[in-house]
Amino acid sequence: MSQSIATKELARRIVNQVETFILDVRNTDDFDDWKIEGESVEIINEPYFNLIDGVDALAGRINKNQEVIVVCARGNSSKMAAETMEEAGFTNVYDLEGGMQAWSQHLEPVKIADLSEGGSLYQFVRLGKGCLSYMAVSEQEAAVIDANRMTDVYERFAQEKGVTIKHTIDTHLHADHISGSRQLAENTGGSYHLPPKDAGEVTFDYKPLKEDHDMTVGNTTIKVQPLYSPGHTIGSTSLIIDHQYLLTGDILFLKSIGRPDLAGKADDWVGDLRETLYSRYKKLSDELIVLPAHYSSVEELGEDGSVQAKLGDLYQRNAGLQVEDEQSFRDMVTENLPPQPNEHETIRQTNMGKINPEVEEQREMETGPNRCAVNA
């Protein structure tokens, strides 16, 4: 009987850069589209179909005594593949519980900093999807920003810290993953905040997230600055926390910039995107720490597993911030758009409250990589 490993344990290995060998038994097209990555991860692909009658396809590729974690879509094929390998004499084989579907849902909390007036800021890293969400904690209160739909993770974390979630905030109407912010507010009795320019079609009540409407969490001021920062969406709004941390949503990432086309408005919004990146953000302190809502590659994870960088450093090294000519910028953005995220329009409809898919359908809708960035 094969052993299993939980997504939580695998996530900690990757964050701590423990050497990990993975055999992914999904179809090659699925593997090429989206896989588990990490600085310390070695991964090979051999479709399960090729392992049904034996493990000859693995000859010379895996040592029979080395530790191997077998991964599939939902955890069924990997379990059978692991058992076949054990029967063939492999001695240290694990299957990943729940497969890539479970991996896509795991959130790993990482502490960013203690805040100057008391309290702390945490980043929740969704390693299997590249999503980043945040919790600011001060005294007995908390605010959660860009929550994923797995609301129980934030609720448990708040309970562990002895705080009540008073505010949930979406920096924009998400199109690549289902927001948990509204549900989290309902569960905890908090208030849900959304930029009004992104809320024209929503079917629910919300508090407008806009300039000069600061929020206080315990002793910590969450300041919404001139940042109204459109471009990814027309309502995109950045947050400055504790005068030190710039939560950029999907406008600016560490190695790329936001895409303006997920509502079909690329030509209209690319000008807004440039205005935000080359004017609005330029007026801010270079010392602000950028905390985005996504990351694109494992290289963006720091040694502590967090994703962060100084704004001034990004102006020096992020290619998306180096294009001075306006037409060249427009061409770069519109010509380098990656494929649309899976089910992006259905996800937008869900986040507007127009449809309410069952949990299993929501999992399926989110499967696959995040595609919120334009890489210059």
Q: How far apart are CA 206 and CA 209, in angstroms?
A: 9
Nearest alpha-carbon partner for 289 in 237, 247, 239: 247
Numbers of helices and strands, H then E, in the chain:
11, 20
Active site residues per annotation: 72
CB-based burial label for 297 (10 Å; 0-12, 13-18, 19+): middle
Q: How far apart are CA 290 and CA 254, in angstroms?
A: 8
Helix (H) or strand (E) holding 170, with range, is: none
Local structure of 15: helix, strand or coil: helix
- Amino acid letter at 202? V
For residue 291, the Cα-to-chain-centroid distance in whole angstroms is: 11
The neighbour count for residue 303, using CB atoms within 10 Å, is 9
Q: How far apart are CA 340 and CA 294, in angstroms?
A: 15
CB-based burial label for 13 (10 Å; 0-12, 13-18, 19+): middle
Q: How far apart are CA 159 and CA 31, in angstroms?
A: 37
Q: How far apart are CA 24 and CA 2, in angstroms?
A: 16
Nearest alpha-carbon partner for 370 in 179, 134, 130, 127: 130
* Angle between helical axes of 359-366 and 344-351 (0-180°, round to 10): 130
Tokens representing 339 are: 């494929």
